[in-house]
């Protein structure tokens, strides 16, 4: 059954009143998830849970399991799509429970709630090389672990020594990247049957002159800022790159760079990003994804696979992309329907 849909406000307020006193952290009913994604689109979560620490996280998950409520863990909301109607379950964040970093020579222990951008800055400042290829990714360490995030210059598995994760039954397990199936934008954390929560990582870096690392970082970020739509709310990379090809280039060659539907637009700066021009709806974002996949299939014979994650599950996203085309709700005239930027 789909977990989309926010549910009745009174029911979620009652659930929040039951869970809240059991935790040291914060529980909010019907929290708009548009506040917690880089695209700034999406409806409310039935419950939004901010555990205070690891034991709080354990208690929250155990309670949600016993209550039979669907739950998801999110990072800083990059590469995350939330339905317009929201999520009928609990969304947990580790921004309090696992927002820490420790340096032990060339090894770095870091919590899953720590921002990836800060990790890159802190390691460069201390003369530790290996993370510059992760620069400019606006997510958390946990999200980067789950996705094996990266760029052409490197990905998480290149520096990961081990990862600590929590299972739904409350066990803490430590494993290496090979055991966790790290591959291009894939890990065991994405398996919906496991529901493992990455809570911390140990990274193995190498010494290098701090000034040269900071200069390299500045140069790399300047390039990313010039070639990606960082000035607007955006999805991050929408599709994975097919072997030997670039998804953005395929979309551009299909004539869709700048394509717009309502306030959702395939970025004129980088065609593998969808941006929110103000009041975009998720239905419009999904419709643009469908259009890009169909056009690239027609022009290049390649089926693009989504890199973005659908909060309610990838199978539901596949149904939306491959099934009969939905009809986004109508907008007022002049809302940019079907137009293309020039």
Tell me which residues are annotated as active site: 185, 237, 307
Joined together, the tokens standing for residue 24 give 């040291």
Residue 76 has phi, psi (to 5 degrees) of -95, 10
Helices H / strands E in the chain, number of each: 8, 18
Distance between CA atoms of 143 and 193, rounded to whole angstroms?
Answer: 18
Residue 5 DSSP label = S
DSSP letter at 191 equals -
The CB density around residue 49, as the number of other CB atoms within 10 Å, is 27
Q: From CA 271, how far away is CA 269, in angstroms rounded?
A: 7
Angle (deg, nearest 10), helices 116-125 and 210-227: 150
Cα–Cα distances (Å) from 182 to 147, 218, 307, in that order, read 9, 28, 15
What is the C-alpha separation between 69 and 245, in angstroms, rounded? 41
Q: Which residues pair with 109 in a beta bridge?
A: 102, 202
Q: Give the integer Cα–Cα distance in Å for 31 and 29.
A: 6
Rounded to a whole number of angstroms, the distance between the first and last alpha carbons of the chain is: 42
CA dist 235 and 79 (Å) reads 5
Neighbours of 262 (CB within 10 A): 25
């Amino acid at each position: 059954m789909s977990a989309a849909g926010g549910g009745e406000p009174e029911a979620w307020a009652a659930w929040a009143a039951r869970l809240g006193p059991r935790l040291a952290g914060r529980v909010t009913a019907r929290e708009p998830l548009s506040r917690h994604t880089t695209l700034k689109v999406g409806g409310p979560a039935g419950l939004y849970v901010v555990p205070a620490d690891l034991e709080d996280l354990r208690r929250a998950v155990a309670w949600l399991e016993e209550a039979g409520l669907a739950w998801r863990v999110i990072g800083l909301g990059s590469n995350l799509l939330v339905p317009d109607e929201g999520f009928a379950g609990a969304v947990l964040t580790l921004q309090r429970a696992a927002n820490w970093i420790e340096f032990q020579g060339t090894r770095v222990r870091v919590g899953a709630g720590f921002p990836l951008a800060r990790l890159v800055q802190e390691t460069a400042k201390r003369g530790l090389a290996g993370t510059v290829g992760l620069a400019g990714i606006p997510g958390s360490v946990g999200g980067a672990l789950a996705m094996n995030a990266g760029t052409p210059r490197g990905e998480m598995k290149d520096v990961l020594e081990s990862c600590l994760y929590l299972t739904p039954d409350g066990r803490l397990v430590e494993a290496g990247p090979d055991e966790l199936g790290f591959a291009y934008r894939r890990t065991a954390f994405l398996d919906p049957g496991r529901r493992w929560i990455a809570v911390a990582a140990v990274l193995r870096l190498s010494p290098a002159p701090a000034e040269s690392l900071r200069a390299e970082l500045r140069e790399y970020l300047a390039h990313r800022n010039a070639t990606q739509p960082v000035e607007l709310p955006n999805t991050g990379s929408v599709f994975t790159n097919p072997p030997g090809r670039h998804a953005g280039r395929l979309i551009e060659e299909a004539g869709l760079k700048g394509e717009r539907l309502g306030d959702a637009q395939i970025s004129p700066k980088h065609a593998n990003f969808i941006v929110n021009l103000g009041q975009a709806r998720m239905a419009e974002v999904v419709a643009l994804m469908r259009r890009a996949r169909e056009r690239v299939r027609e022009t290049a014979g390649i089926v693009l696979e989504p890199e973005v994650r659908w909060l309610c599950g990838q199978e539901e996203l596949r149904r939306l992309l491959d099934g009969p085309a939905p009809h986004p709700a109508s907008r007022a005239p002049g809302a940019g329907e079907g137009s293309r930027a020039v």
